[in-house]
Each structure stands twice: as structure tokens, then as C-alpha cells.
Amino acid sequence: MMLSGFKLSKTSLATIATLLLVLMWLIGNGNVNTAKVEFTPVIEQFSECPTQGGNLGATLIVFVNAEPLAKNLAQTLCQDPVVIKQFGQVRAVWNHSEDQVLQYVGKGIADLTLVKENLMAAIRGESTYGYRVVAAYPDYSAYLISMREKPQIDKAYLLGKRIGLLDYPTSRSGHIIPIGMFKELNLSLDSLQITYANSHTELRNLLISGKVDIISSYWQQDRDEAILSRNYITPIEQQVSGSKWYLKMETNNIDLFCAVQRTLIQMAKDENSGYFSRLTPEPDCQVSP
């Protein structure tokens, strides 16, 4: 038995030596790429600021889908007296990827987030992590919008059109609803001429510049009247629930709830857009005397 084991060991060593010789020969002849393999790091897009408070180990994490909103909100919250008392810094992350939404909200990482009610219900965020609605935007309608004709919800009509949609699957008016309409019309995405944009503003720029014939979006009364015509919009869905701000309330931190709600309402009032300025508290915070 000992002799057999010794022979096996010699065989293994001989095999390894042979493989090393072959590898050295391949390298010498340039057949093996010895360049260092580099992995592209995942770049997290965020804005962070210190509160100048004493609790340096505590971070208030915000997750939203837009960079300007994230940066503005982080700076504003860092100056709030309640946030200063309770947190050492505020980190506001922006990303519209569905995977990132599920990562931050589905796993309860975000303390404050702006998401659709249906998504929060799907991940059971309220019962699992104690997310509570702080404020909500009003319901709205989703439309097909064109420049020179009223769009038709018709298979033959849409087949010949260049269509602009949003590039993130969590947007209802810019992605979910129009794709659902295509499915109802038995239209595959491969059969359509679709151009994807990163924002509703970019969709409008594509339409105005003639790069697409139709976009799917909501109607911005205060802005669209100047560049588009109401005669050339067709509703796809009349009542779409607006996004809501949720705060994780694992403890009954009413001071933080009121501070966040106050900040969001004031930021909405400063917003130039008619729709995004119509943010309402849910429920209205009542601070005890």
C-alpha cells in the first residue's frame, strides 16, 4: 500500500512538471496573454455631507432616481437641526436601475426614498422595514405625445413610428405603461423603432429635434404648453399613482419624521415645475408642544 501511494505521488509530480513546462513554452512564444486582468468597479453615484453633529457613526441614507435631487436634498438635510442631532452625515444615492432600487429599498438600506407605491407594496417594505409615507405627489395621466398629429393607439400606426421611451423600467408613464400597451396590441419590442432616453426632459428634446415621432410621458402643464400642443396627445392611462416619499420608521422617531417632511415640502415649494411643487404631507406632521 505504501509503495502504491509513492508511485501515485511520483506520477502526480511528473504531470505537474509537464504542465509547467508547457505553460512556460506558451508564454515564451507569446501564446498566453500575461496582461493583468482588471475588473471594472461598480461606481456608486452619491453625494455626501457632514452634519457637524456629534453622532459620527450614524449616516442618514437617501435613495432617489435623479442626481440634482440627491445633491440638493443631501445639502438641505445636513443643515437640519434634528438631523444634526441624530446623524454624523447624510449620504444621498441616485440611480434609476431596478436592481439598485431593489438593493436599497428591497433590503431596507435606504432610510429615506422616493419610489412608486406599487413597488413598495411588492417588496412589502412597510411591514418588513417599517417604511412610512412622509409625502406624496398627485396622481397623473400617461400620454403618447407627438409634435404634429394626434397619436393613435393602433398596431399598424405604431409600427411605422419612431418611439421615445425612458431607459429605466421603474418609470410608469415613460416605460411600464407604454410597454404594457404594446403587449396588448401584440407588438413585440423588436418590431418597433424605440429610442431610449435618460429623463422626461431628454424625451422632449428627442421629440422637438425630430429624432423620434412619439414619446410616452406625462403632461407638464406649466412647461409643455409652450413647446407642445394638447391637440397632439393621446391618453394611455388616465390615473397613474404618483411617487411617494417613504421614511424607515423602525422606531417611532417622530422628530426625524417631521424634520424630513418639513424639508421635502419646502423643497417642493421652491421647485419650478407645477407638478413636482404639488407635494402633500401624508399625514401632516403634528409636532407636540
DSSP for the chain?
-HHHHHHHHHHHHHHHHHHHHHHHHHHHTT-S--SPP-PPPPPP-EEEEE---S-TT-EEEEEES-HHHHHHHHHHHHT-HHHHHH-SEEEEEE---HHHHHHHTTTT--SEEEE-HHHHHHTTHHHHH-EEEEEEPPPEEEEEEESSS-----HHHHHTSEEEEES-TT-IIIIIHHHHHHHHTT--GGGSEEEEESSHHHHHHHHHTTS-SEEEE---HHHHHHHS-GGGEEEEEEEEPPPEEEEE-SS--HHHHHHHHHHHHHHHHT-SSTTTT--EESSPP----
pLDDT digit string, tens, across residues 82-112 = 999 999 999 999 987 777 888 899 899 999 9
212 and 168 together in one domain: yes
Mean pLDDT of the chain: 83
Its domain, for residue 160, covers 140-240
- pLDDT of 38 > 70? The answer is no
**Domain shared by 272 and 234, yes or no:** no
| Cα(278)–Cα(169) distance, integer angstroms | 24
Q: pLDDT tens-digit profile of 242-266?
A: 889 999 998 889 999 999 999 999 9
pLDDT tier at 21, thresholds 50, 70, 90: low
Is 125 in the same domain as 252? yes
**Residue 83 domain-assigned?**
yes
Q: Does residue 252 or residue 206 have the better pLDDT? A: 206
Cell of 173: 408613464
Same domain, 193 and 269: no
What pTM was estimated for this model as a whole? 0.71
**148 and 133 in one domain?**
no
**CATH number assigned to the domain comprising residue 169:** 3.40.190.10
Give the mean pLDDT of 261-280: 85
Do both 123 and 151 map to the same domain? no
Confidence class for position 40, pLDDT limits 50, 70, 90: very low
In this structure, the answer to whether residues 249 and 122 fall within a common structural domain is yes
Q: Is the pLDDT of residue 271 over 80?
A: no
% of the chain residues with pLDDT over 90: 54
What is the number of structural domains in the chain? 2
**Residue 36's pLDDT band (cuts 50, 70, 90):** very low
151 and 142 Cβ atoms separated by less than 8 Å? no
Q: Is residue 30 part of a domain?
A: no
Last residue of one domain, picked from the residues 240, 255, 273: 240
For the stretch 144-192, pLDDT in tens is: 999 999 999 999 999 989 999 998 777 889 999 999 999 999 999 999 9
Residue 196 has pLDDT above 80, yes or no: yes
33 within a domain of the structure (yes/no): no
